Each structure stands twice: as C-alpha cells, then as structure tokens.
Amino acid sequence: MASFSIVNVSKGYGPKKLFEEVNVAFSAGRRYGLTGPNGAGKSTFMKILAGDEEQDTGDVMRPRKLGILRQDHFQYEDTRVLDVVIMGNKPLWAALTEKHKLLEKHDLSDDDGHRLADLEGVIAEEDGYVAESDAGALLEGLGIEQEFHEGPLKNLTGGYKLRVLLAQALFGKPEGLLLDEPTNHLDLDSIRWLETFLHEYEGVLITISHDRHFLNAICTHIADIDYETIITYPGGYDDMVRQKAQVRSKVDSENAEKKKKIAQLQDFVARFSAGTRASQVQSRKNQLEKLKVEDVKRSNIARPFIKFEQKGASGKQTITIEKISKAYDGHLVIPPFSALVTKGEKIAVIGKNGVGKSTLVKLITGEEKPDGGTVTWGHNASVGYLPQDHHGLIKKGTTVYQWLRDQDVKMSNEEIGGLLGRMLFSGEERMKPTDTLSGGETVRTLLSQLMMRKDNVLVLDEPTNHLDLESISALSEGLARYEGTVIVVTHDQQLISEVATRIWAPHNGKDVVDFNGSFEDFLVKHADIAAHHR
C-alpha cells in the first residue's frame, strides 16, 4: 500500500509562517490525527496533501488513489445519492459513464466493442458489480435510510448531504484517506460506526477532528503542527499531550542546568583569567564553547482558562418539569416529559440529529412554548443560555472588548481585560471588530459573557461547535468544576464522560429516557437505547 512522503515542505501567507522545511512520512496501515490550535495550518496542510493547494517549497508524494472528504455538496444537488457515493472511485465512475454512453449508440463499431470489453475489465477490477450495494451499506452505516438512496441529493438536509460526501470519501477502497472534521454533523451512532470502519481500513488515514474521544479511539499516531513544524507522536491525542509536556519539560530542565553551569564557568573565567591558573581558565573556556542552550521555539499551543462561578446558589429544587410536550406539523418531537432537576446536577442531552435535543432545552429555557405542561424554576435560579445558533447574539459594528464592556457596566476595565486574556484575546485581539470574528472566537466571546454573568444554571446547546481541542478540553474542565447546575446538549463523548452525572436521551418521539448516572453506566444499562445514540 502507498504512503505520503513530505520533503522540505514550507508554507506561509505573507510574513506568517505556518510550517518550515517539514519532513514527515505517513505510512500505510497507520491512522494519523493532525492536530494543532486554530490558525496553526491544519486545513492548509490537508489541502496540500490532497493537491488542492500548492506548497511554497518542497515535494509531496501521495498514494495514487485518494479518498478526500469534500464540503461542496452543491455540485451534486440533482445527482442520485448512490451515484454521488460511487463517484468517490474515479476510475470506476469514468468507466461506468463511458460504458453508458457507448450503450446509448444505435450501432456499435468493432472498436466500440473492444472498448466495451476493456471497460468491463476496469469495472470488474474496481468491484463495479457490487458498487451500488457497497455504497448503500456505507450510507446506512452513516444513518441515511434506504428510501433516500435512489433520489437526488437535494432531498436531504444539509448535515445529511455532508454524510453522503463522507461516504463518497470512504468508497472504493482508497489507498489514502484525508478526512477534515469527519464527525461534524454525525450523531453518536454514526461516529461509532465510523470508528469501526476506520479500524478495519488498511490504507493510510490522516484526519483532523475536534473530537478528542474520536482521536483517542482511532489514531495510532498524532501528527502535531507546532513550533513551525510537524512532530509525530505514537498513540492517541491524550498520549501526545503527555509526551509533548514531557519533552518540553525535559528541554526546559536541561536548559536550566546548562544556564547554571554556564554561569559558574563564566564566573570562574572572570575571576581567574588574569591570575596564575591559565590552564584551568582555558579548560573552562573550552567547556563553555561546548555548552549550548537548546533554541526552543515558542509553542503555539494556547489553552483558555474557563471558570464558571455563581453569584449565589439556587434553591435545592432548581427546575420542576411537568409533562411538557411539543409537536411540529402533527409530528410529536417531545412526548410528555417530567423531571425534577436538583442543585448541582450535570445533565447531558444526547441523541441523533433531529430527535428533539435543541427543542427540549428551548422548552426548558422558555425560548419556545410547550404544547402542554409547565416548567417551574426554583428559588433564586439564574440561567445562562448558549443557543446552538449564534447568529445575532453579538452586536456588529463594535469590538470584542466594547461588547463585553456593554454587558456589565459594573465590572472594571481590568477585570474585563483579564477575562478576555484568559479566553485568548490578548493585547490587540481585544479590539478585534465583532464583524470579523471566526466561529471559535464567537463562542469564546459568548463563554466570556457567561463567565461574567455568574449564573447558577448553565444551559448550553452544542457549545463545542467551532472550538479547537484545547478550548473543548478547557470547557469540559470548567463545567466539571462548576458548582452550579448544567444542562448541555453535545455529541462530544469525552465531555459527556467527564461532566455528566445524568443523561437525558430523547428517543424517536416515543419518550425521553432519564438516566441518573454516568455516560458509561448509561451505555451499559440502556444498551438497547444506546445503540441509537452511540
């Protein structure tokens, strides 16, 4: 099987260098996670590997047959869903297309007959006679029901269109797989299916993902973009973080020892260079020449510090939910649901896309009215809500600093500056125009506002969307340490495992499973339901 070989590759934009003279190989049979903070150049490097973008210097050797996850579903809107998947195998699709054109001819020449025979050979070699059933199996594994396979792509919603493009990348036994954020728009069920598929994949996989659980589950190696280069570590994401810290700590420790030794030698030379100990002075000078402090480039890893506090605690019975329900166009999304939420509980709302997770939290926060039932908030409850759709939440035409300043006039400028610094808006970044914020910067700004408010209940709908791995990890730690009550909608299995003390799982409009206990216990004790959520 083929592999990727990257020789002396450099890439930058203007004065900003992303990586410089990178030499790295990605070997067949291994699964690599490509990591690094937002802006480190992960997607750029992936485009270079795919041949979609030119490097400034160096050479890239890649496998002949690549599966690449594309995001441009618009070009396939009128194409049959099964055909979109089969297009992932370019030689097969070219042969099938040419064969179809030849068979449309009224009279075939001898040359046409020979060409048809050649095409049949290509189709057989590329497993073309089972292509539709293979494509169908991939689609079903990714949660796309059979009834949609024969129709055009435009019949599917946006998230499911991207699943079809993921099936396209996986189709046809590619020698190399390049998957940029493959778990976006996947529910837990489809993520677990993808993990199993990739474990059985024999080629070379390179993936970017903000899902730590996914990287830990599938990766044999992590290729980390930092220090303007790419360093490969064996193991999953958590293994890389440990090894990276150890390497950095060892170099820092060795540098400290060297600096101490250099100072002692310089002191000796200064004191005795004019005296009678010339040979000893020369010996110390020789030692000084050999001692070099390692030139360690500054790491670009930066983790925000997320700490949620409460102005005051809520009453013990924080939320009383009595038989709330919601239907849209006669379709029951949330059947009558009752629950008592007590102070300090951490509830993860999990389930497939479209089962009503966002609807449930909107009913609880009052963003939507239930068709029936009531939600009663307990004594002194104060709610901080982060919706999934951030559009319009941050006023345009101002700066990050000024927007936060306007949220709380009582806070001092130093407090606001310190809060923004902890959320990675340092120096001039604080004056960034709100019109130009990236997705990750928008979420970090909204989380800053939540930290300012010091509510005793947090309701967060998909808060990890747009965040990088370091920020997700910091959010998970912040929620675990928070003494208030949390309701969080998420597909991030690591965050669920680290934070949740209770699980709510809307289940196909039939009921909402309410499980007291950890995510791991939920998966064991509700294996029948877990199969729909994993």
Instruction: Give the separation between CA 244 and CA 250, rounded to whole angstroms.
Output: 10
Helix or strand holding residue 4 (H, E): strand 4-13
Question: Residue 247 — φ and ψ, nearest 5°?
Answer: -60, -45
Write out pLDDT tens, residues 75-91: 899 999 999 999 999 99
The mean pLDDT value for 148-175 works out to 93
The gap from C-alpha 335 to its chain's centroid, in whole angstroms, comes to 32
Read off the pLDDT band of 298 (50, 70, 90).
low
528 or 389: which leads in pLDDT = 389
DSSP state of 299: P
Q: What is the mean pLDDT of the chain?
A: 89
Q: Which two tokens stand for residue 209?
A: 């993902």
> Is residue 426 assigned to a domain?
yes
DSSP state of 2: -
Residues found in the chain: 534
Question: Residue 15 — φ and ψ, nearest 5°?
Answer: -80, -15
Instruction: Give the separation between CA 62 and CA 6, rounded to whole angstroms.
Output: 9
CATH number assigned to the domain comprising residue 182:
3.40.50.300
Three-class SS state of 17: strand
Same domain, 324 and 426: yes
Residue 439 has pLDDT above 90, yes or no: no
Same domain, 172 and 193: yes
> Is residue 11 assigned to a domain?
yes
Residue 436's pLDDT is 86
Residue 532's pLDDT is 47
Same domain, 121 and 22: yes
Same domain, 101 and 152: yes
Instruction: Give the separation between CA 511 and CA 327, rounded to whole angstroms.
Output: 13
Lowest mean pLDDT among 119-128, 186-195, 382-391, 441-450: 186-195
Beta strands per DSSP E along 125-171 = none
Residue 14 has pLDDT above 90, yes or no: no
Q: For the chain, what is the radius of gyration of the CA atoms?
A: 28
Write out pLDDT tens, residues 245-295: 777 666 666 677 777 877 788 888 788 777 667 778 788 778 777 776 555
The mean pLDDT value for 401-430 works out to 90
> Is residue 350 assigned to a domain?
yes
Same domain, 324 and 349: yes
Three-class SS state of 188: helix
Residue 268's pLDDT is 80
Instruction: Give the separation between CA 476 and CA 213, rounded to whole angstroms.
Output: 13
> Is residue 301 assigned to a domain?
no
DSSP state of 304: -
Same domain, 431 and 498: yes
Write out pLDDT tens, residues 189-207: 888 899 999 999 999 999 9
Read off the pLDDT band of 463 (50, 70, 90).
very high
Would you state the torsion angle of the CA atoms of residues 21, 26, 31, 36, taken in this order, to the nearest 10 degrees?
A: 0
Q: Which two tokens stand for residue 426?
A: 């340092």
Residue 163 has pLDDT above 90, yes or no: yes
Residue 529's pLDDT is 56
DSSP state of 367: S
Q: How many domains does the chain have?
A: 3
> Is residue 510 assigned to a domain?
yes
- Sheet holding 16-26: strands in order across? 16-26, 4-13, 57-61
Residue 72's pLDDT is 81
Instruction: Give the separation between CA 143 and CA 136, rounded to whole angstroms.
Output: 11
Three-class SS state of 436: helix
For residue 229, the one-letter residue type is T
The mean pLDDT value for 448-465 works out to 95
Same domain, 56 and 188: yes
Same domain, 14 and 118: yes
> Is residue 312 assigned to a domain?
no
SS3 sequence, 348-414? EECCCCCCCHHHHHHHHHCCCCCCEEEEEECCCCCEEEECCCCCCCCCCCCEHHHHHHHHCCCCCHH
Lowest mean pLDDT among 31-40, 60-69, 485-494: 31-40
Write out pLDDT tens, residues 349-397: 998 878 899 999 999 999 999 999 999 999 999 999 999 988 889 999 9
For residue 118, the one-letter residue type is D
Read off the pLDDT band of 50 (50, 70, 90).
very high
Query: Are the CB atoms for 78 and 154 separated by under 8 Å?
Result: yes
Same domain, 267 and 333: no
Same domain, 269 and 321: no
500 or 226: which leads in pLDDT = 500
Residue 146 CA: distances (Å) to CA of 138, 194, 197: 11, 18, 19
> Is residue 195 assigned to a domain?
yes
Residue 533 has pLDDT above 50, yes or no: no
Residue 534 has pLDDT above 60, yes or no: no
Same domain, 235 and 256: no
Residue 299's pLDDT is 59
Residue 296 has pLDDT above 60, yes or no: no
Residue 341 CA: distances (Å) to CA of 324, 501, 514: 14, 11, 11
Read off the pLDDT band of 321 (50, 70, 90).
very high
Of 204, 239, 274, the residue that ends a domain is 239
The mean pLDDT value for 113-122 works out to 93
The gap from C-alpha 58 to its chain's centroid, in whole angstroms, comes to 29
> Is residue 245 assigned to a domain?
no
Q: Which two tokens stand for residue 111?
A: 């040359």
Question: Residue 13 — φ and ψ, nearest 5°?
Answer: -125, 110
Same domain, 266 and 166: no
Instruction: Identify the burial level of 238 via C-beta atoms within 10 angstroms of its C-beta, where 0-12 means exposed, 13-18 middle and 19 or more buried.
Output: middle
Residue 145 belongs to what domain range? 4-239
240 or 248: which leads in pLDDT = 240
Instruction: Give the separation between CA 419 and CA 432, rounded to whole angstroms.
Output: 15
User: Which residues, including other chains, have CB under 8 Å from residue 15's CB and lie 6 or more apart?
Assistant: none
Helix or strand holding residue 98 (H, E): helix 90-103
Query: Are the CB atoms for 206 and 67 separated by under 8 Å?
Result: no
